[in-house]
């Protein structure tokens, strides 16, 4: 690939807009599509070109990158009539950075290969902060050739990049990541709930534990947001519920039981049902504040 590429970017939401902006900063030409055009406004003001569909964007691109909401959205933009796989140019590279299912990632890779196109499943971790600061962790599944071609772009958007293996392994790695996050978010919220019940100063407690074994990425990134009452989404509850349900399904297919994961899914599902779908994952705190984590408590 030449140094300056035409990149189709599909999905310019909380994370995608920042990621696409970094690619523009690196000198690449952008063609963008999003279901809500307003969310691409800043990119368009900077000179990005608008496309009326994901397939139209891909038709003119060396590389197509997607970060959309749900597996159904991924399937539609890639495999639907007039979609990305159908309209991508021979030799193009397709990179799906949505958290989706490993099975769908394999299907996309097979369909792309049949048309002489390379595909990677490359979900990310790091939330809105990681997207803004270009410090995302990127977990890629696909051929070594596809990964090597994508690496210069990953270096623009992230800090850590791993080639996990063949198609679908990026999504499996992301499932492991989400399982780990679910546990640390429960630990963060319950630790602060305990400190509150014990009459401790929460900011002082958080600072003290930040230097000990309880510290984690979630502790540092989301603890201060909880303490300041900031529950705006860096990563939506509704998307986390989707991820946890994918992880549960995959675990069952693998023949393993993960009760901690299943507990986290139940709690986040209750938060979602209690008008929390559009909040950030740190809003789990609010469920505990309302007593909704108990089986018999308010929903």
Catalytic annotation, residues: 174
For the beta carbon of residue 257, count every other beta carbon within 10 angstroms: 10
The DSSP result for 25-56, as a single string, is HTT-EEEEE-SSGGGGHHHHHTTPEE-SSHHH
Whole-angstrom distance, CA of residue 264 vs CA of residue 259: 9
C-alpha–C-alpha distance, residues 15 and 91, integer Å: 27
Q: Secondary structure of 68-94 in the HEC alphabet?
A: CCCHHHHHHHHHCCCCHHHHCCCCCEE
* Core vs surface per residue 84-101: b (16+ CB within 10 A) or e: bbebbeeebbbbbbbbbb
By CB neighbour count within 10 A (0-12 exposed, 13-18 middle, 19+ buried), where does 291 fall?
exposed
Region of 108 on the Ramachandran plot (φ > 0 left; ψ -120 to 50 alpha; else beta)? alpha
Which CA distances in Å does 237 have to 68, 99, 213, 283? 15, 14, 26, 8
Instruction: State the DSSP string of 260-286.
Output: HHHHHHHHHHHHIIIIITTSBGGGHHH
- Under DSSP, the state recorded for 98 is S
């Amino acid at each position: 690939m030449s140094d300056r590429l035409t990149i189709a970017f599909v999905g310019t939401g909380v994370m995608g807009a920042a990621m696409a902006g970094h690619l523009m900063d690196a000198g690449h030409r952008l063609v963008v599509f999003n279901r809500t055009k307003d969310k691409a406004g800043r990119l368009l003001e900077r000179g990005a070109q608008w496309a009326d569909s994901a397939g139209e964007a891909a038709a003119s691109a060396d590389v197509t990158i997607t970060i959309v909401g749900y597996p159904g959205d991924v399937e539609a933009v890639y495999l639907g009539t007039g979609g990305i796989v159908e309209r991508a140019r021979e030799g193009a590279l397709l990179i799906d950075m949505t958290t989706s299912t490993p099975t769908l990632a394999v299907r996309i890779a097979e369909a792309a290969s049949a048309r002489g196109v390379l595909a990677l499943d490359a979900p990310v971790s790091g939330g809105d902060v990681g997207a803004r600061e270009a410090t995302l962790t990127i977990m890629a599944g696909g051929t070594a050739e596809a990964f090597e071609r994508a690496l210069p772009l990953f270096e623009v958007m992230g800090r850590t990049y791993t080639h996990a293996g063949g198609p679908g392994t990026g999504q499996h790695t992301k499932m492991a990541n989400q399982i780990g996050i679910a546990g640390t978010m429960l630990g963060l919220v319950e630790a602060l709930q305990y400190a509150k019940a014990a009459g401790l100063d929460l900011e002082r407690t958080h600072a003290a534990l930040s230097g000990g074994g309880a510290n984690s990425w979630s502790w540092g990134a989301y603890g201060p947001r909880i303490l300041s009452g900031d529950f705006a989404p860096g990563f939506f509850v509704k998307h986390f519920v989707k991820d946890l349900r994918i992880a549960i399904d995959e675990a069952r297919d693998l023949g393993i039981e993960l009760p901690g994961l299943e507990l986290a899914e139940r709690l986040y599902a209750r938060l979602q049902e209690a008008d929390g779908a559009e909040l950030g994952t740190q809003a789990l705190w609010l469920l505990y504040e309302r007593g909704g984590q108990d089986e018999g408590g308010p929903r």
